[in-house]
Amino acid sequence: MNRTDPIIDLIPYLISNRGTAFTPIFRDDADYHHMLKVLATTSKQENVRILARSLASEEFQLILEQNVGGSISRMMHRVQTSVARRCNRRYRRSGRLFAGPYQNSRIRSPQELQTIIASFQRLVPSRSSEACMASWTWIHDGVANTLSAL
């Protein structure tokens, strides 16, 4: 997908997507664990830092920052493809899992970054499973460095 504004290195972005017609993306702990594993693997391969994440059953939100030479776009393509293929295979379904391409929004100030992270922390998961709680919000140690760089 061609985006009108290119993603700039070393700037945090809010990345989000949801299931088609609010279809659950994550139905159980195994689905959450798969997403976490794919995020960890692809972020290293594509040289992208995960600053924060929020995974709900029918949507996800991430704060990502691509390092020089990194690619949020390639990372998200790989993440969404992997999650959709696994979901379609596991639940014997076909078609689109996601409502469309991921949405991105550049975070322009430390206050905006702090507000978004606080909103992640205020949300309460509808499920109380261990994987859901563990994946709901995770904040990388690099947030303080990002705040000072904005």
**Interacting residues of 118 by C-beta distance below 8 A, sequence separation 6+:** none
Q: Which fold has domain 12-149?
A: Alpha-Beta Plaits (3.30.70)
Over the stretch 95-116, which tens digit does the pLDDT of each residue have? 889 998 999 999 998 888 888 8
Q: Where are the domains of the chain?
A: 12-149
Over the stretch 32-87, which tens digit does the pLDDT of each residue have? 889 999 999 999 999 999 988 888 888 899 999 999 999 999 999 999 999 999 98
Compute CA 116 distance to the chain's CA centroid, rounded to the nearest angstrom: 13
| Long-range contact set of residues 71-74: C-beta below 8 Å, sequence gap at least 24 | 71/7, 71/46, 71/47, 72/7, 72/13, 72/15, 72/46, 72/48, 72/104, 73/1, 73/3, 73/7, 74/46
